[in-house]
């Protein structure tokens, strides 16, 4: 049982603030992904939980125990590093056994646990080799096996797949998900790859400039971004944003279209829609086609809407040409609104929620 609670954790490096007052609770056996661009503080937060970095303020609790003053070895964690950190002077067997030997387990137990985790990670035929004789993917497996062999309450992973090639990454991703679910540990996983985050996470915490912008399930993060940044960061291509001006209370004019939206005192807010949530038809936003990219199952169309770029994913058979004028009708339940100053999402009246 290991719930992780991060309470008001901040980290400053000299004059630079890497983390501002982060609060996050991760429940037992949950798979939490910290997602963000490089420099957003996600790795710093992970290292604070691991005990490799001390927070400037705030508390870290693991399994109901305050740990922020404890060294890494007393926190009940295991960590997988981006460059694997497989000890080059030890065999694969001794690498996996390293933590168990530090716990002074009897030799029979060590052998049993090493063999079991090696089988789990499909590296049982590599146990006598050294790190220099392994491929990147195999080293990755050794690093994960070494962490799992500890049977920790919490596994921390710092971009563990980012050094693998694309195909191997896909394979390891599915395997990791299965192995970690079976091990019943609480996992914090740091990545900048949104597809990885989506596919692995129970919950994603999207980080930006040292803050957690939104922590929610992958679908929620995708469908209902809490802030403009989340919509523009997640999704490939990302969300489209168009300025909206007030028509009446609760009604907004967007590229010549009047749509029901949130009640707000502001005169201008932002309308947002995902590229796949528009249909080409006889009514909707006025768009001029600039670029057409056929992608097989569908076609990515880049248009001009109100002088800004707008990307739409249309059916492959839509038959659009460069220069065409289209009317793109947004699906009403998929429209989102953002406050341009706070950048937070504005809740529309009632009808928009799925």
Partner 1 sequence: MSAVAEVPVAAVADARKAGDWLLIATAILLCVWVLLPIYLLIVNALSSPGEVTAFPKRFFPSFDFGSLSFFIEFAGVARALWNSVLVASLTMVLAIGFGAPAGYALSRFDFPGKETFRFLVLMTRAFPLPLLALPLAVMFIRTGLDDTAIGLALVHTTLALPFAVLITFSLFSGIPVELEEAAWTLGCTRWQAFRKVILPLALPGIAASAVFAFTISWNEVFAAAVLTIENRTLTAFLLQSLGESPLYLKFAGGAALVVPALIFIFAVRKYLFAMWGIANR
The residue ranges that bind partner 1 (CB under 8 A) are 50-52, 71-73, 77-79, 81-83, 85, 87-89, 98-99, 102-103, 146, 150, 156
The least CB distance from residue 163 to partner 1, in Å, is 12
The least CB distance from residue 170 to partner 1, in Å, is 25
Q: Looking at beta carbons only, is 79 or 172 nearer to partner 1?
A: 79
The least CB distance from residue 116 to partner 1, in Å, is 17
Q: Exposed, middle or buried by CB within 10 Å (0-12, 13-18, 19+), for 70?
A: middle
The least CB distance from residue 172 to partner 1, in Å, is 19
Contact between 6 and 34 (Cβ < 8 Å) = no
Contact between 80 and 143 (Cβ < 8 Å) = yes
Angle between helices 107-120 and 92-102 (to 10 degrees): 130
Q: Looking at beta carbons only, is 61 or 98 nearer to partner 1?
A: 98
Tell me the DSSP string of 53-115. S--SEEEEEETTEE-TTS-GGGTTEEEE-TT----TTSBHHHHHHHHHHHTT--HHHHHHHHH
Q: Looking at beta carbons only, is 78 or 216 nearer to partner 1?
A: 78
Q: Looking at beta carbons only, is 88 or 354 nearer to partner 1?
A: 88
Contact between 194 and 185 (Cβ < 8 Å) = no
Q: Is the dihedral of CA 185, 186, 192, 195 positive or negative?
A: positive
The least CB distance from residue 102 to partner 1, in Å, is 3
Q: Looking at beta carbons only, is 76 or 225 nearer to partner 1?
A: 76
The least CB distance from residue 189 to partner 1, in Å, is 15
Q: Looking at beta carbons only, is 190 or 206 nearer to partner 1?
A: 190
DSSP class of residue 334 equals G
The least CB distance from residue 156 to partner 1, in Å, is 8
Q: Is the dihedral of CA 290, 291, 294, 298 positive or negative?
A: negative
CA 310 to CA 301: how far, in whole Å? 8
Which residues are CB-contacts of 170 (< 8 A; sequence separation ≥ 6)? none
Q: How far is CA 160 from the centre of its chain?
A: 13
CA 225 to CA 215: how far, in whole Å? 10
Angle between helices 166-183 and 136-149 (to 10 degrees): 10
Q: Looking at beta carbons only, is 185 or 224 nearer to partner 1?
A: 185
Largest CA distance in the chain: 76
Q: Looking at beta carbons only, is 121 or 305 nearer to partner 1?
A: 121
The least CB distance from residue 153 to partner 1, in Å, is 13
The least CB distance from residue 30 to partner 1, in Å, is 20
Q: Looking at beta carbons only, is 133 or 288 nearer to partner 1?
A: 133
């Amino acid at each position: 049982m290991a719930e992780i609670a991060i309470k008001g954790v901040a980290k400053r490096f000299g004059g630079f603030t890497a983390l501002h007052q982060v609060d996050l609770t991760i429940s037992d056996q949950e798979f939490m992904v910290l997602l963000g661009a490089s420099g957003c503080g996600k790795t710093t937060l992970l290292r604070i939980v691991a005990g490799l970095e001390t927070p400037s303020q705030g508390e870290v609790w693991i399994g109901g125990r305050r740990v922020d003053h404890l060294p890494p070895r007393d926190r009940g964690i295991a960590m997988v590093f981006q460059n694997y950190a497989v000890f080059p002077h030890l065999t694969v067997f001794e690498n996996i056994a390293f933590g168990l030997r530090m716990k002074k387990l009897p030799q029979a137990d060590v052998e049993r646990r090493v063999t079991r985790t090696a089988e789990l990670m499909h590296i049982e035929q590599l146990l006598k080799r050294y790190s220099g004789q392994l491929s990147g993917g195999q080293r990755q497996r050794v690093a994960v096996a070494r962490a799992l062999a500890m049977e920790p309450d919490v596994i921390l992973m710092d971009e563990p797949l980012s050094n693998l090639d694309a195909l191997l990454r896909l394979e390891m991703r599915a395997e990791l998900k299965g192995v970690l679910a079976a091990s019943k540990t609480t996992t914090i996983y740091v990545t900048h790859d949104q597809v990885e985050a989506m596919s692995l996470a129970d919950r994603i915490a999207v980080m930006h400039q040292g803050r957690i912008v939104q922590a929610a399930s992958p679908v929620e993060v995708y469908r209902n971004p809490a802030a403009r940044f989340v919509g523009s960061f997640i999704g490939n291509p990302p969300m489209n944003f168009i300025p909206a001006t007030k028509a009446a209370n609760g009604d907004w004019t967007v590229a010549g279209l009047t749509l029901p939206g949130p009640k707000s005192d502001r005169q201008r807010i932002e309308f947002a829609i995902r590229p796949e949530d528009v249909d080409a038809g006889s009514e909707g936003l006025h768009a001029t086609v600039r670029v057409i990219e056929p992608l097989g199952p569908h076609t990515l169309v880049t248009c001009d809407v109100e002088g800004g770029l707008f990307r739409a994913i249309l059916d492959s058979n839509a038959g659009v040409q460069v220069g065409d004028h289209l009317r793109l009708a947004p699906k009403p339940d998929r429209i989102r609104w953002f406050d341009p100053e706070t950048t937070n999402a504005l809740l529309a009246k009632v009808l928009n929620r799925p």
